[in-house]
Structure 1
Amino acid sequence: MRAADGDPGHNDPGHPGLADLFARPLLETVWRRRTHRVSRGATVPAGSMSYRSPHAPRPLSELEEAVLIALTGCTGLTMPDRPFDDPRDGKPIMAKPNMNMAGRTAGSPDNAQSTHFFLINDTGTYFLRRLDPAPGTPLDATGLVERARRAKVRVLDHRLDVTEGLRDFPAYLDSNRFLSNLPGTTVLFPVIDLSHQYINALMYLLTQPDDARPTLVDDRNFYRPAGVRKWVRDGFLNGDLKLPLGALGPMRTQIEADLLLQNLMLSAEAMGLGAWIHASINPQIALGDPKFSRAYGQMLGFSFVTPRWRLPDLWRWHVPLPRYAALRSHPVGLTSPTGEPLIQAACPPAHRTMAAAVDSVIRAKFGPGGTYGDKDVFARIYKEAYGRRYLAEASAYEDQVIACTRDICTYIHDTHGRFPAHTDAIHVPGVWLQVHHVEVEYYEKFFRDGLTDAHRRHGAVWDGES
């Protein structure tokens, strides 16, 4: 972690903990990275190694949480450094695939930045709004805390959890239920909106050279063309090059959440905190899937779409009767308690049709104020006049690409009653990161090399303990 101007020495971090973090070698942190599951105040039932903490749980400070929140958000601007032309024939290559130009601490396919985080602690459960990157803002204690406060949207006035008597499977897995999401811990829970990048990636796929554009077929409908017959007849798609919709999966968009979680864990380790990536509450339970809400409640309260059962669902999706239609329900959005839309998938009901959803992705990229519509952003990325030249010279999606994508997306929704059909609009990896103050005495008692100097010095450096 470094200050925004690239040199933490140019900024007074305003806190000894931040100063220690800026000075800590990355390779040392990576090499010493280990999971520390036992938080301060926890009890470990483990036979002769059982342990009961003499301490009360101690939540993270506001600054400690603010560092973690900053690591989930935007950290500056990315660099469009792709080729514009195919070197074989000089034809233009679609060189404007990005969904966003703001970058984060981890990579993302087409910079979709589709991962949203929830933060869970003793005071409630919060959606973390991604703030615009603030170039030149120093990573000092005051700035970090202020931005963290602006990012947090409280969606629950309590810790997201099930009642104590329901902590067994399917809510929690095995031993996790004894150490996960305990009082005093902070949990970061990733949720990924796949829908926008699913549309964008389809368009990117259809920008391949002549004879290399695949024919999308539906492996849940006898491998029939997925709304693209006319595009095969016209020669736009290669009828001999078939690609099943099921093979697309989540379009690799889910990878960014894994990378962000690793960055968060390494940073927590460097701060001398305990960190643990592990199975979350069952994602369907956590989001409020109607299949589980009667037993567990609304939880985060996502809105779900349940496709109307039709006879072909029997062989397409193995849903035998209308009363089992909820087997194919999937989350499509989340609204704050005050009515603010926090997550809206690019599909009905947020859009009247899938054609309208595709058009919304195009507007977000190329319309007024869109990703490629703000010249000032590219002036901040490139030197001299190269930003203007990039916008003028790099190609965008051709009309045929957009029209073909509309047809594919419309086919998916009309045929299967939801979009996407072969993956969820909002995907939950099923893991989360718990960060906490470690139970120092436990690790000192049982392990030869259980703590780093960062763990041992954390109380003095971050919390002012003697």
Structure 2
Amino acid sequence: MGKYPEGLDIAVNYNFYDAVFQRRSRRFGLGMEIDKGPLKYKSKHEPVSLSEVEEAILVWTGLGIKGINLSDFPPHVGLDLEMQFTSKTIPALGDVHRTELFYTNDEGTYMIKMHDKKPEDFRGLEALSKEKRIDKIVELFRESKIKIHDGRADLPSKPPGIAAHNLWNVNKPGTSVFMPVTDLSACIINLYLFYMRPDHRFNFVDELHGMRPPGTASWLKKGFLNEGMRMPLIEAELRFANGYIAEQAFMGQNMALALQTLGLGGWLFSGFASMFMLGGTPFHRGLGFRFITPEIKGESGNPNPVAVGKDDMFHAFCPPYYKDMGEAVEALNDLKWANWESHKMPYKNPEGVLQEIERPSKEELQVVKDICNYVYDTYGRFPAFSDPMFLRFMVQAHHLDLDFYDEYYPEGAYTDNCKNHFNLWHPDVSDPFKDKD
């Protein structure tokens, strides 16, 4: 791959199990300092930012589009959970694909907008040669990158916004910090719709208000819901939300393995508060999300501000972007079935599969609207117990300061790929470690 750095050949041919065995959190980068204690050390080298290709590889490995999913459910039961047929580098429950990546470096703060991108064919990047795969990855990176503002994101600089043990090295010069944000509103609405299908018809109850039906009393009287399949709202939301937040961990693990193949330092971490990172306090701008303060009408709830979206870029399916939750549910349902009508499907006989799929009935759709409106009217937010837009894990990537590890660690703290990184990836930059054995 002559037009790319030599290190890329090593990266794309890297042994998977070597990457797994070598995966470690390597936190000390060029230009960093530990100011006291037995590991006290100040880097003698200036920070060096990641190149465009390095960032593109990390972004695609974390949340990149590959091709079209198999979606090999029985069409008559389960396939209607799918929001679309896009295959990414990580698994995604129901293929909702409402986790988007934001990142910041020395030059600016960006969103990688992927939720409106669709694969062109079944095999996608898998069918291309190695060099054309990289061409496509870089092309997709450039097409999807939206600059939010110049310069680094104004992230928290003290607890509780960020844990004390992360203050010394997070978001420092030369680093690239990747922040996946998940739209839990869309994910949870999709699952409510799924659990209103004839095989389920769950009887959701509000355990904070005497186990009362969440706007569904009339549906219970009609016998439309399965009274014996009772599920508390908190249990439902946490179960649903955890399934989708897991996408951020999958992304982080993919990126952590990619760091090994690239010879970079960095790590996956969660020692921060989402509200602070997204910009929900007056102390730091964060990623500049819009927040609302819930108006609680029930006996209990969480009054803290919650992130609902990044205007004109990525927003939740809830007010203020919709007049009420009924309109939000309708919008998500319309989006889902528009995806089905417009996306390429993986099957040889897509028409036959489509004929087997029943869309939600008016009754099923109305039950979900009633539940979601109840949640919003009672708790002043949707979801009630999870933030609509939520950031749980982040990944930082940087160039390692090998001298620190030589000073305090036995041989093996970093790999040959790390040692040779500048020679392989940045031949135009003076290699600070060229004299190492």
TM score, norm. by length of structure 2: 0.89
Seen in structure 2, the aligned counterparts of structure 1 residues 398 and 189 have a Cα distance that, compared at 3 Å, is: same
Q: 1:237 aligns with which of 207, 216, 225?
A: 225
Residues 365-411 of structure 1, C-alpha deviations (whole Å, 9 max, x = no match): 11xxx221026x02xx223xx22221222333333321211111122
User: What corresponds to 1:156 in structure 2?
Assistant: 149
* SS in structure 1 of the partner of residue 341 of structure 2: coil
1-structure distance, mates of 2:202, 2:59: 41
Mapped contact 1:17–1:461 kept (Cα < 8 A): yes
Mapped contact 2:60–2:141 kept (Cα < 8 A): yes
Q: 1:133 aligns with which of 115, 119, 126?
A: 119
| Amino acid of the structure 2 residue aligned with 1:286 | M
* SS in structure 2 of the partner of residue 37 of structure 1: coil
Mapped contact 1:94–1:207 kept (Cα < 8 A): no
Q: 1:217 aligns with which of 200, 205, 208?
A: 205
Mapped contact 1:93–1:395 kept (Cα < 8 A): no
| Amino acid of the structure 1 residue aligned with 2:118 | D
| Amino acid of the structure 2 residue aligned with 1:388 | E
User: What corresponds to 2:67 in structure 1?
Assistant: 76
Seen in structure 2, the aligned counterparts of structure 1 residues 24 and 297 have a Cα distance that, compared at 3 Å, is: closer
2-structure distance, mates of 1:419, 1:111: 21
Mapped contact 2:296–2:379 kept (Cα < 8 A): no
User: What corresponds to 1:202 in structure 2?
Assistant: 192
2-structure distance, mates of 1:259, 1:299: 23
User: What corresponds to 1:24 in structure 2?
Assistant: 14
1-structure distance, mates of 2:235, 2:198: 18
Mapped contact 1:171–1:281 kept (Cα < 8 A): yes
Alignment of structure 1 residues 287-366 onto 2, 5 Å = 287-289=278-280, 292-293=281-282, 296-310=283-297, 312=298, 315-317=299-301, 327-335=303-311, 341-366=312-337
Q: 2:107 aligns with which of 123, 135, 139?
A: 123
Question: 1:302 Cα shift?
Answer: 1.2
| Amino acid of the structure 1 residue aligned with 2:146 | V
Determine if the alignment matches structure 1 residue 372 to structure 2 residue 326: no
Query: Runs of 5+ in structure 2 lacking a partner?
Result: none
* SS in structure 2 of the partner of residue 316 of structure 1: coil
1-structure distance, mates of 2:181, 2:395: 12
* SS in structure 2 of the partner of residue 156 of structure 1: strand
* SS in structure 1 of the partner of residue 314 of structure 2: strand
Mapped contact 1:94–1:397 kept (Cα < 8 A): no
User: What corresponds to 2:367 in structure 1?
Assistant: 404
1-structure distance, mates of 2:378, 2:39: 57
Mapped contact 2:113–2:145 kept (Cα < 8 A): yes
Determine if the alignment matches structure 1 residue 35 to structure 2 residue 25: yes
| Amino acid of the structure 2 residue aligned with 1:346 | F
Determine if the alignment matches structure 1 residue 390 to structure 2 residue 376: no
Question: 1:60 Cα shift?
Answer: 0.6
2-structure distance, mates of 1:270, 1:22: 8
Question: 1:143 Cα shift?
Answer: 4.0
User: What corresponds to 1:64 in structure 2?
Assistant: 54
Mapped contact 1:112–1:253 kept (Cα < 8 A): no
2-structure distance, mates of 1:360, 1:437: 44
Mapped contact 1:194–1:253 kept (Cα < 8 A): yes
Determine if the alignment matches structure 1 residue 277 to structure 2 residue 277: no
* SS in structure 2 of the partner of residue 249 of structure 1: helix
2-structure distance, mates of 1:299, 1:31: 35
Mapped contact 2:106–2:174 kept (Cα < 8 A): yes
| Amino acid of the structure 2 residue aligned with 1:262 | Q
Alignment of structure 1 residues 82-121 onto 2, 5 Å = 82-84=73-75, 92-121=76-105
| Amino acid of the structure 1 residue aligned with 2:43 | S
Question: 1:93 Cα shift?
Answer: 2.0
2-structure distance, mates of 1:297, 1:174: 16
User: Structure 1 segments of 4 or more deviating over 6 A?
Assistant: none
1-structure distance, mates of 2:72, 2:186: 23
Residues 68-119 of structure 1, C-alpha deviations (whole Å, 9 max, x = no match): 12222322111110113xxxxxxx4242211121121111110111211111
RMSD: 2.1
Determine if the alignment matches structure 1 residue 457 to structure 2 residue 420: yes
User: What corresponds to 1:323 in structure 2?
Assistant: none
User: What corresponds to 1:8 in structure 2?
Assistant: none
2-structure distance, mates of 1:56, 1:300: 27
Which has the larger displacement, 396-405 or 451-460? Answer: 396-405
Residues 14-66 of structure 1, C-alpha deviations (whole Å, 9 max, x = no match): 43222111111101101111110001121123434322211100111111111
1-structure distance, mates of 2:227, 2:251: 39
Mapped contact 1:37–1:179 kept (Cα < 8 A): yes
Mapped contact 1:95–1:395 kept (Cα < 8 A): no
Q: How many percent of aligned residue pairs carry the same amino acid? A: 28
Question: 1:444 Cα shift?
Answer: 2.3
User: What corresponds to 1:432 in structure 2?
Assistant: 394
User: What corresponds to 1:338 in structure 2?
Assistant: none
Residues 133-175 of structure 1, C-alpha deviations (whole Å, 9 max, x = no match): 353565545543333222221113221135xxx7221232122
| Amino acid of the structure 2 residue aligned with 1:128 | I
Mapped contact 1:413–1:421 kept (Cα < 8 A): yes
Mapped contact 2:266–2:396 kept (Cα < 8 A): yes
User: What corresponds to 2:381 in structure 1?
Assistant: 418
Q: 2:234 aligns with which of 237, 241, 246?
A: 246
Query: Runs of 5+ in structure 1 lacking a partner?
Result: 1-10, 85-91, 320-326, 336-340
Residues 215-249 of structure 1, C-alpha deviations (whole Å, 9 max, x = no match): 11112222100111122112121223321111112
Aligned residues: 415
Seen in structure 2, the aligned counterparts of structure 1 residues 76 and 48 have a Cα distance that, compared at 3 Å, is: same
2-structure distance, mates of 1:225, 1:78: 37
1-structure distance, mates of 2:2, 2:47: 31
Determine if the alignment matches structure 1 residue 443 to structure 2 residue 411: no
* SS in structure 2 of the partner of residue 175 of structure 1: helix
